[in-house]
Amino acid sequence: MTDNRPTPLRWLWLAVFVLILDQISKWAATAWLSYAEPVPVMPLLNMTLLHNTGAAFSFLASAGGWQRWFFTLIALAISIALVIWLWRLPARERLTGAALALVLGGALGNLIDRVLYGYVVDFIDVYYGSWHWPAFNIADSAITVGVALLLWTSLRPAASAPRN
């Protein structure tokens, strides 16, 4: 018999791990990289310190400053919703729990930057030729993987569904 009872916040360790890894990597990038000067790591990858005052892909980056608090409130609301979702999540939904924790850790990592500095520290620069993907960070990566896992778990057939 599987335990279907909610296990309050059993996935918070993963969110905290992502948050710590994100903040340490941003500290290291800020300490060791010069702003906007690419440092080649391997083909297709540079480390380039950038400050993003907007959201994903620098959306609203030049909006005049109000976006800092707008995105701060959104990240805070999403983080609260994710904690509630994790609190209510049945123990058997492990992949969903891991996905939510990844998104939560990433959201909190970028939230800390926004509150402390007014921008998010980005430093991972993936490119091909002269084309560069918008710079990102560990928090962004965790959010992306978490959302992908949430989409995958929502689209796959339920384990308890009858088979034909």
Rounded to the nearest 10 degrees, the angle between the axes of helix 12-32 and helix 94-117 is 40
CA atoms within 13 A on the CB side of 46: 21
| Residue 24, domain member (yes or no) | no
| Residue 75, domain member (yes or no) | yes
Q: What is the pLDDT of residue 69?
A: 80
Range of the domain at 96: 49-56+64-120+132-156
Length of the chain: 164
Q: How far apart are CA 79 and CA 85, in angstroms?
A: 10
Per the structure, how many domains does the chain have? 1
Catalytic residue IDs: 122, 140
Q: How far apart are CA 105 and CA 13, in angstroms?
A: 9
Residue whose token pair is 């965790």: 142
Structure token digits, residue 65: 């400053």
| Residue 115, domain member (yes or no) | yes
Q: What is the pLDDT of residue 13?
A: 95
Q: How far apart are CA 112 and CA 120, in angstroms?
A: 8
Q: What is the pLDDT of residue 55?
A: 62
Q: Are 160 and 106 in contact (CB under 8 A)?
A: no
Q: What is the pLDDT of residue 9?
A: 76
| Residue 86, domain member (yes or no) | yes
Q: How far apart are CA 87 and CA 70, in angstroms?
A: 26
| Residue 32, domain member (yes or no) | no
**CB atoms inside a 10 Å sphere around CB 95:** 13
* pLDDT in single tens digits along all 164 residues of the chain: 555 666 667 899 999 999 999 999 999 999 999 999 999 999 999 999 999 986 665 555 555 666 678 878 999 999 999 999 999 999 899 999 999 999 999 999 999 999 999 999 999 999 999 999 999 999 999 999 999 999 999 998 765 555 55
| Residue 110, domain member (yes or no) | yes
Q: Are 86 and 101 in contact (CB under 8 A)?
A: yes
| Residue 93, domain member (yes or no) | yes
| Residue 16, domain member (yes or no) | no
